[in-house]
Amino acid sequence: MNSHLSKAGIYNDFSGLAELKAGARKQSPEARKEVARQFEAMFIQIMLKSMRDAGSVGEGGDSDEIRFYQQMFDQQIALDLANNKGMGLAKIFEQQLGAGPEEVATDGLSLLNRKPVSVQQAVIDGAERADAAERAAPQIKWSPESPEAFIQDLWPAAQKVADKLGITPEVLIAQAALETGWGKKMPDGSQGSSMNLFGIKADASWRGEKVSVQTLEYREHVAVREQASFRAYDSTENSMEDYVAFLKNNPRYETALKHVNDPQRFLRELQDAGYATDPHYAEKIQGIMSSDRFASVVSQLKAG
């Protein structure tokens, strides 16, 4: 193969271009490949020139000599880039050069018949696709219709997880009822409910999903609204499992875990360790557990 055809120095090597034209007329695969590469080099050079022109606006100190050498430098960079992987344009050019007249005509007509899309329409289309993708994503929904339904839904998982903590299922469910308003006030995110039953916040150690919402905190016995990030789960059982791990992995709750056989003492120690800022946290949970409504549903579930 001729040296001009295999590796031209820069695209304005005129003798090389002449041989490229001759080879292209013969439909030589090697020539098509080289012509495509040279076209990509020219395209890259035009891009470089546009970038230089944009960057030199308002600047002084340019001269014809400097611009001449910059142009030569850009030409060489363009060819070097095209000689390697380039921008992928060479392959497209090569395919077009190798296509028959009917294929080229068909492709050309399809491009001519394509309706132009405005920038505004492109933005709208992109937003609609994003909305559609979000709607297509599985939504996690769980909103018990009543306190009775809340207890019944959580009972199977609470029984299983409570054994790992050594506590009764009633304590877990009553605490979850207080934290979530019987399942009506769980933090929600774009994918639906966070399934966060125990109000566990997403600190720096958390690597899972999270949601950010307004929350009510008590500062010096005064209730204030704050923005906070909470952990998100794909099921209520996973939320309970994480609650157990959260208590066991935090030394501050060590004393509380020593009293799991005494629900009142456990809840009081949990509050004293700073689990919640509400000064009546333990008292409220005990109030739920001792209510006739709660006790009646639990009694029925235990009876099977």
How does pLDDT run across 67-109, given as a tens digit for each residue? 665 666 666 666 666 666 566 666 676 666 665 555 444 554 5
Q: Same structural domain for residues 152 and 299?
A: yes
Q: Which of 217, 226, 254, 262 is catalytic?
A: 217
Q: For residue 229, give the CATH number of its domain.
A: 1.10.530.10
Q: For position 87, what pLDDT does the model report?
A: 63
Q: Same structural domain for residues 192 and 237?
A: yes
Contact between 11 and 23 under an 8 Å Cβ cutoff? The reply is no
Active-site residue flag, 217: yes
Q: How far is CA 215 from CA 177, 283, 293, in A?
A: 16, 20, 28
Does the pLDDT value for residue 58 go beyond 70?
no
The set of long-range contacts for 264-272, using a CB threshold of 8 Å and a minimum separation of 24, is 266/167, 266/171, 267/171, 267/175
Q: For position 135, what pLDDT does the model report?
A: 45
Q: For position 153, what pLDDT does the model report?
A: 96
Q: In the chain, where does DSSP find H-type helix? A: 3-6, 14-25, 29-55, 64-83, 89-98, 101-113, 119-136, 147-165, 169-180, 236-248, 254-257, 263-272, 281-290, 292-303
Q: For position 108, what pLDDT does the model report?
A: 47
Please provide the distance, in angstroms rounded to a whole number, between the alpha carbons at the two ends of the chain.
88
Tell whether 178 is covered by a domain.
Answer: yes
Domain boundary among 93, 114, 135: 114
Domain of 36?
3-114
Of 69, 67, 63, 74, the closest CA to residue 10 belongs to 74
Domain boundary among 114, 136, 156: 114
Domain boundary among 91, 114, 137: 114
Residue 204: which residues within 8 A CB-CB, separation 6 or more?
none
Does the pLDDT value for residue 204 go beyond 90?
no
Q: Which of 74, 94, 242, 269 is catalytic?
A: 242
Contact between 241 and 219 under an 8 Å Cβ cutoff? The reply is no
Structure tokens at 195: 């399934």
Active-site residue flag, 242: yes
Q: Same structural domain for residues 103 and 190?
A: no
Sign of CA dihedral 45, 51, 57, 59: negative
Does the pLDDT value for residue 12 go beyond 80?
no
